[in-house]
């Protein structure tokens, strides 16, 4: 069996701020370790194998566009979800999009890019 995505790891400057943002954005539970790392865990009822998120502290500020980022999706009303994420502390971002893309580019409170898709991805089989 091939590998599968188990966890997204992100270096962050303000672990508590980022844990609150991503926990509220995704509905994940916060598990803070004594060493300052935070493990965000999918809520009860999440699909089996749902990836976790690991936030690890760093003293380095983010400088450039991420070469890899999350694409989030909601079942309905992506415009309302963009507004909810903005209220949590996300900001809109311009990474060169034309405006015709089927997604909205946002950044989290520390400037890490992510996208909210207009619709969940289709899986042709």
Q: How many domains does the chain have?
A: 2
The tokens for 90 are 């996300």
Its pTM stands at: 0.90
CA 123 – CA 121 distance, rounded (Å): 6
Indicate if 90 and 44 belong to the same structural domain: no
For 67-89, write each residue's pLDDT tens digit. 889 999 998 899 999 999 999 99
Residues 14 and 42 reside in one and the same domain = yes
Encode pLDDT of 3-48 as tens digits.
888 999 999 999 999 999 999 999 999 999 999 999 999 999 998 8
Task: Evaluate whether residue 64 is within a structural domain.
Answer: no
Question: Residue 19: which domain range?
Answer: 1-59
Place of tokens 């502290």: 57
| Domain end among 59, 82, 103 | 59
Report pLDDT for 121: 83
**C-alpha–C-alpha distance, residues 70 and 106, integer Å:** 10
Terminus-to-terminus CA distance in the chain, angstroms? 18
Name the one residue in this structure whose structure tokens are 């380095």.
Answer: 60
Statement to judge: residues 54 and 83 lie in one domain? no
């Amino acid at each position: 069996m091939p590998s599968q995505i188990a966890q997204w790891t992100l270096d962050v400057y303000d672990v508590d701020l980022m844990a609150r943002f991503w926990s509220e954005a995704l509905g994940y539970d916060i598990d803070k370790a004594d060493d300052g790392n935070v493990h965000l865990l999918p809520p009860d009822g999440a699909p089996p194998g749902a990836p976790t998120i690991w936030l690890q502290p760093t003293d380095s500020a983010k400088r450039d566009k991420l070469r890899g980022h999350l694409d989030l999706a909601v079942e309905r009303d992506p415009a309302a979800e963009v507004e909810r994420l903005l209220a949590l502390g996300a900001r809109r971002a311009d990474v060169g999009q034309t405006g015709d893309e089927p997604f909205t580019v946002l950044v989290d409170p520390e400037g890490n890019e992510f996208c909210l898709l207009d619709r969940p991805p289709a899986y042709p089989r």
